[in-house]
Amino acid sequence: MNGRSPIMQDGLVLSLDQVLARQSFKWRQYSPGVLAACVADMDLGTAPAVRTALAQLLQRVDLTYPLRDGRKADRAVARAFAARMHRLYGWAAEADQALVLPDLVQATFAAVMAFSDPGDGVVVQVPHYAPFREAVEGTGRRLVPLAMRAGADGHYFDFEALERAVDARTRVLILCNPHNPTGRVAIRAELEAVLAFAERHALVVVSDEIHADLVYPGARHLPFASLSAAAAARTVTLNSATKSFNIAGLRCAVAHFGTAALQARFHARVPARLTGAVNNLGIDATVAAWNDGQPWLDAALAHLLAMRDHLAETLRRELPAIRFHVPQGTYLLWMDCAALELGRPAAEFFLQHARVALSPGEVFDAGAPHCARLNFATSRPILDDILERMIAAVRAHQRRPVHA
Amino acid sequence: MNGRSPIMQDGLVLSLDQVLARQSFKWRQYSPGVLAACVADMDLGTAPAVRTALAQLLQRVDLTYPLRDGRKADRAVARAFAARMHRLYGWAAEADQALVLPDLVQATFAAVMAFSDPGDGVVVQVPHYAPFREAVEGTGRRLVPLAMRAGADGHYFDFEALERAVDARTRVLILCNPHNPTGRVAIRAELEAVLAFAERHALVVVSDEIHADLVYPGARHLPFASLSAAAAARTVTLNSATKSFNIAGLRCAVAHFGTAALQARFHARVPARLTGAVNNLGIDATVAAWNDGQPWLDAALAHLLAMRDHLAETLRRELPAIRFHVPQGTYLLWMDCAALELGRPAAEFFLQHARVALSPGEVFDAGAPHCARLNFATSRPILDDILERMIAAVRAHQRRPVHA
Interchain CB distance below 8 Å, A51 and B42: no
Confidence of residue B403 (pLDDT cuts 50, 70, 90): low
Question: Residues 6 or more apart from B306 whose CB is under 8 A from it?
Answer: B380
pLDDT attached to residue A4:
39
pLDDT tens for A189-248 read: 999 999 999 999 999 999 999 999 999 999 999 999 999 999 999 999 999 999 999 999
The answer, yes or no, to whether the previous bond of B181 is cis (omega within 30 of 0) is yes
Fold of the CATH domain B16-47+294-398: Aspartate Aminotransferase, domain 1 (3.90.1150)
pLDDT attached to residue B302:
97
- The pLDDT > 90 percentage for chain B reads 92
CA distance A4 to chain B (A): 9
The yes-or-no verdict on residue A9 having pLDDT over 60 is no
pLDDT attached to residue B152:
80
- The pLDDT > 90 percentage for chain A reads 92
pLDDT attached to residue A11:
78
Locate CATH 3.40.640.10 in chain A: 65-292
Nearest to A374 by CA among A391, A357, A352, A398: A357
Specify the amino acid at residue B309: D
Integer CA distances (angstroms), A178 to A64, A75, B322, in order:
36, 26, 63
Interchain CB distance below 8 Å, B64 and A106: no
User: What pTM, to 2 d.p., does this model score?
Assistant: 0.96
Architecture of the A65-292 domain: 3-Layer(aba) Sandwich (3.40)
Interchain CB distance below 8 Å, A249 and B62: yes
The yes-or-no verdict on residue A153 having pLDDT over 80 is no
Integer CA distances (angstroms), A197 to A21, A122, A205, A262, in order:
48, 13, 10, 19
Strands of B65-180, DSSP E: 67-68, 71-72, 98-101, 121-126, 142-150, 155-157, 170-176
Question: Residues 6 or more apart from B367 whose CB is under 8 A from it?
Answer: none
| Beta bridge pairs of residue B173 | B123, B205
Cβ-Cβ contacts under 8 Å, B29 against chain A: 67, 70
Is B381:B60 a contact under the CB 8 Å cutoff? no
pLDDT tens for A53-111 read: 999 999 999 999 999 999 999 999 999 999 999 999 999 999 999 999 999 999 999 99
The yes-or-no verdict on residue A402 having pLDDT over 90 is no
Mean confidence (pLDDT) of chain A: 95
Search chain B and give the residue with CA nearest A38: B65
Q: Which of A10, A65, A244, A331 to mutate to test the interface with B (most CBs of B within 10 A)?
A: A65
CA distance B71 to chain A (A): 8
pLDDT attached to residue B10:
60
Confidence of residue A403 (pLDDT cuts 50, 70, 90): low
Interchain CB distance below 8 Å, A279 and B54: no
Alpha-carbon A279 to chain mean position: 21
Cβ-Cβ contacts under 8 Å, B278 against chain A: 102, 251
Interchain CB distance below 8 Å, B105 and A273: yes
From the number of C-beta atoms within 10 Å of its C-beta (0-12, 13-18, 19+), residue A313 rates as exposed
Strands B332-336 and B253-257: unpaired
A161 φ, ψ (degrees, to nearest 5): -65, -40
CA angle A273, A277, A278 (to 5 degrees): 150
Locate CATH 3.90.1150.10 in chain A: 16-47+294-397
pLDDT attached to residue A401:
78
Strands B170-176 and B121-126: parallel
Interchain CB distance below 8 Å, B66 and A249: yes
The yes-or-no verdict on residue B203 having pLDDT over 90 is yes
Distance CA(B19)–CA(B26), nearest Å, equals 9
Is A346:A372 a contact under the CB 8 Å cutoff? yes
pLDDT attached to residue A10:
60
Q: Which helix (H) or strand (E) holds A246?
A: none
Is A290:A121 a contact under the CB 8 Å cutoff? no
CA distance A381 to chain B (A): 20
Fold of the CATH domain A16-47+294-397: Aspartate Aminotransferase, domain 1 (3.90.1150)
Mean confidence (pLDDT) of chain B: 95
CB atoms under 10 Å from CB of B6, counted, come to 6
Distance CA(A146)–CA(A149), nearest Å, equals 9
What is the greatest pairwise CA distance in chain B? Answer: 75
Confidence of residue B6 (pLDDT cuts 50, 70, 90): very low
Q: Rounded mean pLDDT of B179-206? A: 97
Is A251:A242 a contact under the CB 8 Å cutoff? yes
Residues in chain A: 404
Cα end-to-end distance, chain B, whole Å: 62
The yes-or-no verdict on residue B225 having pLDDT over 80 is yes
Interchain CB distance below 8 Å, A271 and B101: no
The yes-or-no verdict on residue A1 having pLDDT over 50 is no
Q: Which of B18, B61, B117 to mutate to test the interface with A (most CBs of A within 10 A)?
A: B61
pLDDT tens for A238-295 read: 999 999 999 999 999 999 999 999 999 999 999 999 999 999 999 999 999 999 999 9
pLDDT attached to residue B8:
45
What is the greatest pairwise CA distance in chain A? Answer: 75
Locate CATH 3.90.1150.10 in chain B: 16-47+294-398
Radius of gyration of chain A (CA): 21
Q: Rounded mean pLDDT of B4-30? A: 80
Interchain CB distance below 8 Å, B26 and A246: no
Interchain CB distance below 8 Å, A251 and B5: no
pLDDT attached to residue B150:
82
pLDDT tens for A355-388 read: 999 999 999 999 999 999 999 999 999 999 999 9
